[in-house]
């Protein structure tokens, strides 16, 4: 009969993700995780198999959390351009305004997501879902930004991600302010052009 798990997978993966976020993917090992969760490294090996599987599980856990937050944000965001901006600004709130290195640290996770086909597929699915949600808000909203334009959601999401990258270099304001300004500018220019 297997022993009862004293530490649930969610707690282990949350701690593993914390290690990756603060010290990078190379810092995650069964030993480093064991030291934080008061379990033997051999117990973690039995649970996760390999270090690569542990890293993938931690990053899939991060995708699960992002999917949940995205679903909540989509459910609460109103229609129209203002709803799109609110939705993407809310998702930008994950970056710590008080820690200038937080965004750069998140890029270490992106590297792993791009290298692993399973994680890359999760990212593509998330982008597709988010792009569709943006298009839906623009299609349903009354206002100056035209709805019904195929690909507009992906364009807006790309602008959002680009604005975060530019913010990471410039740091002239907090991420939320920079994102709001960039998206408002893009949607205003689309409105004028239509």
49 falls within a domain: no
- Give tens-digit pLDDT for 127-181: 999 999 999 998 876 666 666 678 899 999 999 999 999 988 888 888 889 999 9
User: Could you tell me if residue 145 is inside a domain?
Assistant: yes
Beta-carbon contacts of residue 171 (< 8 Å; ≥ 6 apart): 100
Is the pLDDT reported for residue 105 higher than 80? no
Tell me, yes or no, whether 36 lies in a domain. Answer: no
Q: Mind listing the pLDDT tens digit for each residue in 26-51?
A: 999 999 999 999 999 999 999 999 99
- State pLDDT tens for residues 72-81: 999 999 999 9
The answer to whether residue 147 is domain-embedded is yes
Instruction: Identify whether 8 is part of a domain.
Output: no
At 1, the pLDDT band (50, 70, 90 cuts) reads very low
* Number of domains, the chain: 1
**Within-domain flag for 28:** no
pTM for the model: 0.88
Percent of the chain with pLDDT over 70: 90
What is the CATH classification number for the domain harbouring 182? Answer: 1.10.357.10
The Cα 135–Cα 148 span in angstroms is 7
What's the domain range around 135?
A: 62-193
Could you give the CA distance from residue 15 to residue 54 in angstroms, rounded to a whole number?
11
Q: What are phi and psi of 38, to 5 degrees?
A: 60, 45
Question: What pLDDT is attached to residue 108?
Answer: 82
CA-based nearest residue to 73, from 62, 86, 60: 86
pLDDT at 142: 65
How crowded is the C-beta side of 39, counted as CA atoms within 13 Å? 20
- Asked if residue 148 belongs to a domain, the reply is yes
Q: With respect to residue 159, please indicate whether it lies within any of the assigned structural domains.
A: yes
């Amino acid at each position: 009969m297997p022993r009862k798990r004293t530490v649930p997978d969610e707690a282990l993966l949350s701690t593993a993700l914390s290690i990756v976020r603060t010290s990078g993917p190379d810092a995650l090992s069964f030993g480093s995780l064991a030291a934080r969760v008061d379990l033997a490294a051999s117990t973690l090996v039995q649970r996760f198999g390999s270090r690569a599987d542990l890293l993938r599980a931690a990053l899939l856990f991060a995708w699960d959390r992002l999917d949940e937050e995205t679903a909540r944000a989509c459910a609460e965001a109103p229609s129209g351009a203002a709803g799109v901006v609110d939705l993407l600004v809310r998702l930008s709130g994950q970056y710590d305004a008080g820690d200038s290195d937080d965004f750069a640290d998140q890029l270490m996770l992106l590297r792993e997501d791009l290298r692993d086909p399973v994680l890359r597929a999760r990212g593509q699915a998330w982008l597709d879902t988010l792009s569709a949600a943006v298009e839906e808000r623009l299609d349903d909203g009354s206002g100056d930004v035209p709805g019904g334009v195929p690909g507009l959601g992906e364009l807006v999401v790309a602008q959002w991600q680009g604005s975060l990258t530019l913010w990471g270099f410039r740091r002239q304001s907090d991420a939320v302010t920079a994102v709001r300004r960039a998206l408002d500018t893009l949607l205003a220019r689309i409105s004028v052009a239509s």
